[in-house]
Structure formats: C-alpha cells, structure tokens
Amino acid sequence: MSGQKQKIAICVSGGGTNLQAIIDKVNDGTIRNTEISIVISNKPDAYALERAKKAGIDAVCISPKGFENRDDFANAMVETLKKHDIDLVVLAGYLVIVPVKMIHEYRNRIINIHPSLIPAHCGMGYYGLKVHESVLATGNKVTGATVHFVDEEADHGPIILQKAVKVHENDTPEILQKRVMEEAEWNILPEAIDLIGAGKVKVIDGILFRLNHYPYRFHA
C-alpha cells in the first residue's frame, strides 16, 4: 500500500465514541497513511452517522432488517465496500454478526475492538455492558480491550493488540465501561489501524506477524 493511503470503512451501531477517537487521530496525524472513506451503521438513528457527517465523511445505514435474507444483506455490504475501494474494515461497536461472504471477501482485512482481554468474557452474547457485568460478577481484578482480526467465529481471530485496565473495588458496569474505553479502546484501535496502514501487520496461516516482533499465534 506504499505511496497511497489505506481506505477504511468503519462499521458502528451506536454513538460512535470509538469512531470519534479514530476521526480525531486521523486528523492529528496519530493514525498515518489512512483515509476514512465511509461509515456504515445498521441503525438509521445511530449518532455515529451524525459524527461522520459532521466530519465530512460519507455515512450510510445498511440494516439486515431492510433485506429479505442474510445473503442480500451480505451482497449490499460487499458492494458498498467495493464501491469505495475499501482496504480495511473496522468494526467499532458493531452489533451485527458479520456475513460470511464479507469475511471471505475481506479475509484478514476486517478488525474488531472487543471490551475485554480475549479469550475472557467474549463470544456470542458478550457485548456492551454485558461484558463488564461479567467481569465484575467473576471478581476479576484486571480487564481491558482487544483488537483482533475477524474470522467466522464471534470474538475470534488473530490478536493484534491488547491493553489491560484495572478493575476498582466500587466499580459499576457503567463506570468500568467508561474506563476501558478511555484507557484502552480509544488508544489501541487507532494504533492497530496505524500499524496496518504502515504495513507492519501480516497474517500468514493464522499467525500474526509484526515488524520487529516475534509472531503471535492465536489459540482458540
């Protein structure tokens, strides 16, 4: 990708705080060699769409509910990504199961941010506050966030970055969620995008390689 910026699509379902962190860090140069080409939400009233429009970024709602079946939804997503010449898809609080066709078309080019230290507190049913409720119920003293490549399983795939966050004695799920976002998510997701744009991350046979690092093998 040398000589040109990587074009990214950001998929989001809610307010878009991770989206805003990415926009800000593209604008201030923290994320290099990157252009946000489109923001996609499955919800027409998601505030993330408004954030995108305010930043001058194309924004569109593509909801599974608007199609007769998952295949039609998958085709619409892939067509939109190809129309914008997308190099990397970023799932930033996207509460939709990614269609298999989309994963196949963009193998090792879709990344996700998950608000825990995978493989803990992840998989089907673990999203939003449910993750942090699980952390507190388990009595963990440390949690965090993970950026990983997406494959056919939920919250699974080669891990790019993780960052730990302390759990405090009087935490509520809401307080813990805010700390994980501020201390981990808003930092490691932009960093992962920057690493990929710089060509410093590659996946070969399920093994993630980083420049000047030993390979990291993801275990299920």
Catalytic site positions:
114
Q: Pairing between strand 34-41 and 58-61? A: parallel
Q: Letter for the amino acid at 215?
A: P
Residue 93 is classified by DSSP as S
The rounded distance, in Å, linking the Cα atoms of 177 and 3 is 38
The rounded distance, in Å, linking the Cα atoms of 9 and 172 is 33
Q: Quick one: tokens of 34?
A: 């990157």
CB 220: neighbour CB atoms within 10 A?
7
The rounded distance, in Å, linking the Cα atoms of 90 and 160 is 13
